[in-house]
Amino acid sequence: MLPNLSFLIFSILFVASNAAVQDFCVANLKGPDTPSGYACKDPAKVTTDDFVFKGLAKAGNTSNIIKAAVTPAFVEQFPGVNGLGISAARLDLAPRGVVPMHTHPGATEYLVVVQGKITAGFISSANKVYVKTLNKGDSMIFPTGLLHFQLSATGVTSVALVFFSSASPGLQITDFALFGNDLPTPLVAETTFLDPKTIKTLKGVLGGTG
């Protein structure tokens, strides 16, 4: 039979409580941000809800020009992932929907189709193209920083879950970067070989100026 462990409990818990901060570092989004992530929320105030995110349950609104929606669960939406090297997003693609050519500057993406059928691909530094049409349950991986895209490959709505190797993967959509800001048209023309007229048209559509 075991005697009462109260002596042990107090001496060991002393250690354990001091070590607690290393398990996780829920982001205090109002605290300072650093190169390794946000400052940590006081562990005494952390609750289960800090580790749970309900925002991926609902379909994004695909009533837009790309017939697609991306719902992120990055550190800003889900502070529990801060410092843990992982985050997620939900991707909804109506028929003919498309996630345009883009990169995540700081993370690899792992995609799983959970509904429908999606054509996805990426282009390597060696300029080789890797494209595949994925069925429900299929996975595809897009290495860090490379241009990639996803398109609906079916007449019904498709859904994918995507995961990133960083709590803050970033997102740079090529069209927005080129045509959706104030980068002067001559600069865009010189650095992309597109003609000014095409650029100006796209700037008009995507909200760019200059």
For residue 154, state whether it binds a copy of itself (rule: CB under 8 A).
Answer: no
For residue 174, state whether it binds a copy of itself (rule: CB under 8 A).
Answer: yes
For residue 177, state whether it binds a copy of itself (rule: CB under 8 A).
Answer: yes
Distance (Å) of CA 116 to CA 112, 119, 129, 159: 11, 11, 23, 7
Query: For residues 56-95, which are near a copy of itself according to CB under 8 A?
Result: 56-58, 60-61, 63-66, 69-70, 72-74, 76-78, 80-88
Residue of 91, 118, 128, 185 that binds a copy of itself (CB under 8 A): 128
Closest CA to 68 of 159, 178, 171, 169: 159
For residue 209, state whether it binds a copy of itself (rule: CB under 8 A).
Answer: no
For residue 45, state whether it binds a copy of itself (rule: CB under 8 A).
Answer: no
For residue 180, state whether it binds a copy of itself (rule: CB under 8 A).
Answer: yes
Buried b (16+ CB within 10 A) or exposed e, 143-170: eeeeebbbbbbbeebbbbbbbbbbbbbe
109 has binding-site annotation: yes
Residue of 91, 93, 94, 103 that binds a copy of itself (CB under 8 A): 103
178 has binding-site annotation: no
HSE-CB for 175 with a 13 A CA cutoff: 15
For residue 200, state whether it binds a copy of itself (rule: CB under 8 A).
Answer: no
For residue 157, state whether it binds a copy of itself (rule: CB under 8 A).
Answer: no
Angle, CA of 175, 61 and 146, to the nearest 5°: 35
- Locate tokens 């991926």: which residue? 56
Which segments of 82-162 does DSSP mark as H helices, in order?
none
Closest CA to 148 of 168, 169, 119: 119
102 has binding-site annotation: yes
d(CA 93, CA 204): 25
Binding residues for a copy of itself, rule CB under 8 A, total: 140
For residue 161, state whether it binds a copy of itself (rule: CB under 8 A).
Answer: yes
d(CA 203, CA 167): 31
Residue of 30, 54, 93, 154 that binds a copy of itself (CB under 8 A): 54
User: Least distance from C-beta 167 to a copy of itself, angstroms?
Assistant: 8
Query: For residues 15-44, which are near a copy of itself according to CB under 8 A?
Result: 15-25, 28, 31-40, 43
Which segments are annotated as binding site for Mn(2+)? 102, 104, 109, 148
